Structure 1
Amino acid sequence: MQKIQFFPQQPNQTGGLTTKTRRFSLGQIVIATIAPLAAFSAVGFTGNLIRPVSAQVQQEQNMRTLTVTGIGDRPVQTTKAQISLGIEITAPTAGQVQTEIARRSNALVDKLRELNVEKLQTQNINLNANYVFENNRRRQEGFTGSSTVSFMVPVDRAGEALDESVSAGANRIERITFAATPTAIAAARDLALQDAVEDAQSQADVVLDRLGFTAKTIRTVAIGNPNVPRPIPLNNARLAVSESLQADPTPVIGGEQRVRATVTLEIVY
C-alpha cells in the first residue's frame, strides 16, 4: 500500500507559506469517495428505499372479481346388489348346532357358486349358550349358532339369488345394498362437473347483467371433491320378499344413487 506523504509548509519568498501537493494512489481516491457514504450509514439511517409498484401489480390490485359456486347433480342407476344371508340354528347341544350349520352352509355355498355370484365370502360364525332365568336363578337351555355369507349379483338376478338361497337353507337376510359400477359413477361425475360449470356461469351472467357489467375472463377455477355415493341400503330401496317359495323369483328393484359436484369460478369483470 502506498503511503500518503505530507510536506510541511515552508515560508515563500514573500514571507507567506507555501503548501506541497499531497500524493494519493488511485485506491485511496476511491476510499475517499466512499467514505462519506459510510459516514451517512453510520449515523443510523434505517429508512427503506421506496420501490415503484409494477404496472402488473397495480392492475391486479385494481381488478374487480366475482366469485360464484355452481352445483351439479346426476343420478346413476344401481346395477349391483350386495347381499348378506345368514343361517341360524338352535339345538340342545353345541354339537347339534354345529352339525346343522355346517350342513346348511355347505348347501348354501354350493348353490351360490352354481349361480356364479361375485365376491362370495364367509363373514362370521357364532356359537352361544342360551340361558333362562327361573326363581332368580340362571339356567342354561341349549345353544344357538349362526353363520353369515355375503356375495354380489346383478340387481336383476338378486331376487333369484334370494329364493335359491332360502331353498338351500338360509333363514336370515342380514343386509342388502345396491350400488352402481365404478365406471357408471365416474361417467355421472363427469356430467355433474359439466352441470356445475354451467350453473356457475349462469349465476355470474345473471348477477353481472343486472349490475350492468360484462364478464371479461376467468381468473381461477376450483373443483370441489365430488361425493362418492354410498350404496343404498335396503330401507332406501324397494324389496318384496315372498313368504313362501314361488315359481317366479322375488322382485328386487335397486333404485338410483346420486353423484354431486361443485365448481367455483373467480370471474374478472
Structure 2
Amino acid sequence: MYYSLRSFIANFSKTLPALCLFGLVSCQAAQSRVEPNISFQSQTLVVSGRGMVDIPKTNARVSLGVQVQGETSGLVQQELAKRSQAVVNLLKTRQDVTKLETTSITLNPRYNPKDGNQIIGYYATNLVRFQIAPEKLGTLLDEAIKTGATRIDGVTLVASDEAIATAQKRAIDAASKDARSQADAALSALQLKQQEIVSIQINGARPPIPVAMETSNLIQKTADFSSTPVVAGEQRIEAFVTLQVRYQPTQN
C-alpha cells in the first residue's frame, strides 16, 4: 500500500505540468474568440399599407315572400303553397332574375292573447331570395305583390362577385405598393440601408358588410314600387398589407 501511494504521487507530479499547460491553452483559446459587432447587426422595420378600390353596385339582393294565416293548419298550408307557387313562377319567367332560391318555410300556431294556451289559428311564411339589376327592382317588386307576395324582408345593393374578386386583387396591389413606398421613404430619411423583405401579411381585402335598405316586412296589395327610383352607388373594397423589412445602418 505504501509503495502504491508513493507511485501515485510520483505519476501525478509528472502529469501536473501537462494538465496546467492544457488548461492554459484552453483559457487562451476562450479569450481569443471574436465577438460580433452588434452595432452593425440588421434590424427590421414593420410598415402597413392600405389599398382602396371603388366599384359600382350592379346587383340587388332581394328577400321576399308570402305570409298567410287561417283557422286550420291545412288551409294555411294550401293557401301558402298556392300563392308561393305563383310568385316563384313569376320570378322564373324573368330572365333578369338570378340566384333564385327558397330560404325559409315556417308554420306556427296563433294563440289567444287573453289565454296563452289556446290556439286560435295558424300562420305560415315562405321566403325566397334572388338577385336582379337595381334599375329593374321597382317594377319586379310591384309585379310580385300583385301576384301574391305579401312581405319584403330585405333589399341589399352589392357589386357582382366577379367585380369584387377583381377589385380585391387591385386593392392588394395598391396596398403592397403603399407599404413599400412607406418603407422606402422612412429608411431613406433615416439613412438606413434596406436589405430585404422578410415577411408579408395580407389583412383582409374584403368588402364591407353590405347594408340592407330599410323595408317594411308586411306590405299592402295597393303598394306601388314601379316608379320608385333605386340609386345603387358604389361599393368600396379595401386591403391592408403589412411588410417586415430588414435593414442596417449605412456605413460611412
TM-score (norm 1): 0.66
**Larger RCO of the pair (alpha carbons < 8 Å, separation 6+):** 2
Partner of 1:104: 83
Partner of 2:197: 219
C-alpha distance in 2, partners of 1:232/1:226? 16
**1:202-245 deviations in whole A, cap 9, x for unaligned?**
3234433443x1554433350313333255131489xxx99632
Partner of 1:124: 104
**1:175-220 deviations in whole A, cap 9, x for unaligned?**
2223322321222122222322332233234433443x15544333
Residues 1:73 and 2:56 are matched in the alignment: no
- Is 2:187–2:194's contact at 8 Å kept on the other side of the alignment? no
Partner of 1:200: 179
CA RMSD of aligned residues (A): 3.7
C-alpha distance in 2, partners of 1:137/1:219? 68
Instruction: For structure 1, list consecutive stretches of 5 or more residues without a partner in the other structure.
Output: 1-35
Partner of 2:9: none
**Equivalent position to 1:155, from 134, 137, 146:** 134
Deviation for aligned residue 1:137:
6.7
Amino acid at match of 1:131: Y
SS in 2 for 1:227: strand
Query: Cα 1:128–1:137, aligned 2, differ >3 Å: closer, same or farther?
Result: closer
SS in 1 for 2:42: coil
- Is 1:83–1:175's contact at 8 Å kept on the other side of the alignment? yes
- Is 1:179–1:230's contact at 8 Å kept on the other side of the alignment? no
- Is 1:221–1:263's contact at 8 Å kept on the other side of the alignment? no
**1:54-95 deviations in whole A, cap 9, x for unaligned?**
xxx979962254332211122222222221112111122223
C-alpha distance in 1, partners of 2:43/2:204? 29
C-alpha distance in 2, partners of 1:236/1:147? 20
C-alpha distance in 2, partners of 1:227/1:198? 14
User: Relative to total residues, which structure has the larger helix share, 1 or 2?
Assistant: 2
Residues 1:169 and 2:148 are matched in the alignment: yes
Partner of 2:206: 228
Query: Cα 1:173–1:94, aligned 2, differ >3 Å: closer, same or farther?
Result: same
C-alpha distance in 1, partners of 2:61/2:49? 34
**Equivalent position to 1:92, from 71, 75, 100:** 71
**1:23-61 deviations in whole A, cap 9, x for unaligned?**
xxxxxxxxxxxxx9xx98xx9xxx8x97988xxx97996
C-alpha distance in 1, partners of 2:210/2:150? 23
C-alpha distance in 2, partners of 1:216/1:74? 29
Deviation for aligned residue 1:159:
2.4
Identity value in percent: 33
Partner of 1:22: none
SS in 2 for 1:131: strand
C-alpha distance in 1, partners of 2:157/2:87? 22
- Is 1:126–1:145's contact at 8 Å kept on the other side of the alignment? yes
Partner of 1:10: none
Q: Which one has the largest radius of gyration?
A: 1
Alignment of 1:8-23 (within 5 A): none
Query: Cα 1:62–1:163, aligned 2, differ >3 Å: closer, same or farther?
Result: same
